[in-house]
Structure 1
Amino acid sequence: MAGEGKRRARRGKRKRHSLNNASPSLQKEEHPSISPPLHSSRPPKRSRVEPSAPKSTASSSFLDKIRGRLSGAHFRMINEKLYTCSGNEALDLFKKDPELFDVYHAGYQEQMSHWPEQPVNIIIKWLKNHSSSMVVADFGCGSATLAKNVKNKVFSIDLVANDPSVIACDMSHTPLDSSSVDVTVFCLSLMGTDFPSYLQEANRVLKPCGWLLIAEVRSRFDPNNGGADPDKFCEAVCKLGYTSVSKDLKNKMFLLFYFKKKEKVAPVKYIEWPELKACLYKRR
């Protein structure tokens, strides 16, 4: 009996050894609890979930859009006011709330970004082709772009000084001395119901034989749509004591007028000025 027990023990030991050395597949068959789950030939359907933008990003984009619309509406309101009031009224408006000037010029720059060519760049080029010793008065200078891009001495004039070099004043009453500058410039700045008074002030500060350069939005000089006749406008300017040297009418967005002041000017008591159509921007 003892021998039989020893033989059984040896058989059990050999069986355990064979199981331990068996292939993994056989081991898994012996232990079904750890075998991998069976898969069907058709994968289970999964519901498609579209990724959504983070709430913070979507909210920020929405707020930016609203701010842009409000800013654009604010610009159009200020722009319309400037074209339909006097220079003195515009000066009072910006004195009460100087931030309106920044709002206006931010909207102005956005509008200008859609123009294929900027009139101020043409005037800069014109000055660079002439003597840098000529003194310039830039009426309605905005951010003083002209002064920053030429070697000339430039008096930058506007209703609000958003740059230390800008002289803030009503453009019909500047602190400049009479016959003190060689070139006067109006680049998209003949705004307001009393624009002729700006030209009269420019005439006062301009030396004999000096230059007057005017760039204006083309629609303001379209007689077929309520604008002024460019020839009649030139006639009125010439009565101040100028000679019309040339007109640049090829640009689709604006016109350029070049006048030279006569050496001797006979005073004219009354000048009939054509009404310049207000430039009102549409909502984009």
Structure 2
Amino acid sequence: MAGEGKRRSRRGKRKRQSRNNVSSSLQEEQPQISPPLRPTKPPKRSKHEPPAPNSTASSNFLDKIRVRLSGAHFRMINEKLYTCSGNEAHELFKKDPELFNVYHAGYQEQMSHWPEQPVNIIIKWLNDHSSSLIVADFGCGSATLAKNVKNKVFSIDLVANDPSVIACDMSHTPLDSSSVDVVVFCLSLMGTNFPSYLQEANRVLKPCGWLLVAEVRSRFDPNNGGADPDKFCEAVCKLGYTLVSKDLRNKMFVLFYFRKKEKASLVKGIEWPELKACLYKRR
């Protein structure tokens, strides 16, 4: 009996070992499943560390800086043109023609905010008259007038940024005396010697010819330091003109239409009102 008990004990022990071996084998065959990864947080940025660069934001910022610098450059040139003589302005642009491009780029940007352009009214006036009229555009800029009418136009300015433009001091043009039918000053009576521009226009204009002057309205606002428009017209008429009409309807500019008398005696010592500088605001 004792021997039988020992044999049973050994058989039981072998069965338990066999089961343990099978269990260990199954555990080894099962794949090891790692616990799910937790989302990692980005490292905290020091308060003294600059933010990561954003290419779009950086580009927009640089564009704004360029616009501001360009606007400041334009205003600086604009103020210079209103406070120096025509000859000084001509020499300035002659030394650095790129300044003229900077000025006109800024000028066009300023004009884009105006609801109506005076040059367009003058274009319409010319198109309503004979295309045989010869025109001199003093201070033509990009020669917009010449490009939009059928008339022969002498485009005159301080710098020739177009092959058709005559570059000169507007008080001394190469035009012949009594050679044009219409003289235009469209926002171009700049400079401390603006009366000499009008005297030169009088020289080149034929008897019974037209003188059209468009200027920034604030320059003819006596309540805010501008010239009295009646005194300006009186001075022009002493050159030998008749005021046909004046257009004060636009809030941005005024427009005068003069006609030269057929015979007029030269008046000396004309008292010209001071036209204040037109300084554009920072936008």
TM-score, normalized by length of structure 1? 0.82
Residues 1:255 and 2:254 are matched in the alignment: yes
Cα drift, residue 61 of structure 1: 1.7
How far apart are the structure 1 equivalents of 2:264 and 2:270? 14
Local SS of the residue matching 2:72? helix
Residues 1:73 and 2:52 are matched in the alignment: no
Counterpart of 1:247, as a letter, is K
Residues 1:182 and 2:178 are matched in the alignment: no
Local SS of the residue matching 2:258? strand
Counterpart in 2 of 1:59?
Answer: 58
Counterpart in 2 of 1:126?
Answer: 125
For 1:161-199, what per-residue CA distance to the aligned partner results, in whole angstroms no more than 9, with x for missing partners? 000000000000000000000000000000000000000
How far apart are the structure 1 equivalents of 2:53 and 2:214? 48
How far apart are the structure 2 equivalents of 1:55 and 1:139? 49
Identity among equivalent pairs (%): 87
Counterpart of 2:91, as a letter, is D
Cα drift, residue 54 of structure 1: 7.3
Counterpart in 2 of 1:217?
Answer: 216
Counterpart in 1 of 2:15?
Answer: none
Counterpart of 2:64, as a letter, is K
For 1:15-56, what per-residue CA distance to the aligned partner results, in whole angstroms no more than 9, with x for missing partners? xxxxxxxxxxxxxxxx98599x99xxxxx9999xxxx99733
Local SS of the residue matching 1:272? coil
Taking a change above 3 Å as real, the CA distance of residues 63 and 183 of structure 1, as seen in their structure-2 partners, is: same
Counterpart in 1 of 2:14?
Answer: none
For 1:195-250, what per-residue CA distance to the aligned partner results, in whole angstroms no more than 9, with x for missing partners? 00000000000000000000000000000111000001000000000000000000
Local SS of the residue matching 1:244? strand
Taking a change above 3 Å as real, the CA distance of residues 128 and 53 of structure 1, as seen in their structure-2 partners, is: farther
Counterpart in 1 of 2:168?
Answer: 169
Counterpart in 2 of 1:194?
Answer: 193
For 1:42-99, what per-residue CA distance to the aligned partner results, in whole angstroms no more than 9, with x for missing partners? xx9999xxxx997333222221111111100000000000000000000111011110
For 1:114-143, what per-residue CA distance to the aligned partner results, in whole angstroms no more than 9, with x for missing partners? 000000000000000000000000000000
Local SS of the residue matching 2:272? coil
Structure 1 unpaired stretches of 5+: 1-30, 39-43
Counterpart of 2:86, as a letter, is G
How far apart are the structure 2 equivalents of 1:259 and 1:97? 36
How far apart are the structure 2 equivalents of 1:162 and 1:94? 11
Counterpart in 2 of 1:151?
Answer: 150
Cα drift, residue 270 of structure 1: 1.3
How far apart are the structure 1 equivalents of 2:63 and 2:224? 36
How far apart are the structure 2 equivalents of 1:56 and 1:33? 47
Counterpart in 1 of 2:137?
Answer: 138
- Bigger radius of gyration: 2
Taking a change above 3 Å as real, the CA distance of residues 104 and 46 of structure 1, as seen in their structure-2 partners, is: same
TM-score, normalized by length of structure 2? 0.83
Counterpart in 2 of 1:230?
Answer: 229
Counterpart of 2:249, as a letter, is K
How far apart are the structure 2 equivalents of 1:109 and 1:32? 79
Local SS of the residue matching 1:67? helix
Local SS of the residue matching 1:283? coil
